[in-house]
Amino acid sequence: MSVLQATTLFDKDTPKIALKSLFLKYDVDGNGYLDKLELYKLLRDDLGLSSDQAETYYHLLDKDADSNVSYAEFEKWFLSGERFQTINDKCRYHYLRKAIEMFKKYDVDNNLAIDKQEFHQLFSEVGGASKKQEKKAMKELDIDHNGRVSFQEFLNWLNWTTLKDLQF
């Protein structure tokens, strides 16, 4: 299936049983989550996305930065009516890819979150000087106060106009 075909088939009117079946088809280990490889396979094989496009949605769909996409996260995205606007809008997609590359630079352990040690590197590179300022900045970025900056929190911090409305 191509992205265009998927755009017409999956929207807010798609029966939940169809979404659940698609999700379960790729939840190979049956744990109720799609890990990175399972999600990439779904996005590439069934929906026709490229590897970069699949990576983009992986970063956007994993809202809680647990390196997995739950059925709830997956369903919310499909039923949002987003219909692949994120990758179809060339300008938005360009900036989003830049944000992902920036995020990956600091997410050294590749766990979809920037921890305090990784944040220290980011803070230093953007000109932060004191430990007090660093702690304050981390507190402001870490909206859910879990000691890590998720990709969603990173996007929020960037505050790029073209990325502001990526909420689904």
pLDDT, residue 128, reads 83
| Of 76, 24, 68, 70, nearest in space to 46 by CA | 24
* pLDDT value for 53: 96
For position 58, what pLDDT does the model report?
94
Predicted structure pTM score: 0.84
Domains of the chain, residue spans: 3-86, 98-163
49: exposed, middle or buried (C-beta count within 10 Å: 0-12, 13-18, 19+)? buried
Q: For position 4, what pLDDT does the model report?
A: 47
How confident is the model at residue 164, as a pLDDT? 59
Residues of the chain predicted below pLDDT 50: 4
Tens digits of per-residue pLDDT, 76-113?
888 887 878 889 989 989 999 999 999 999 999 999 99
Q: Which CATH code for domain 3-86?
A: 1.10.238.10
Provide the pLDDT for residue 115. 95
CB atoms within 10 A of CB 27: 20
> Residue 151 has what pLDDT?
92
Residue 149 β-bridge partners: 114
CATH architecture, domain defined by 98-163: Orthogonal Bundle (1.10)
Q: Do domains 3-86 and 98-163 have the same CATH topology?
A: yes
Element (H, E) at 56: helix 51-61
Residue ranges with strand state E in the chain: 33-35, 68-70, 113-115, 148-150
Q: Which two tokens stand for residue 53?
A: 């496009």
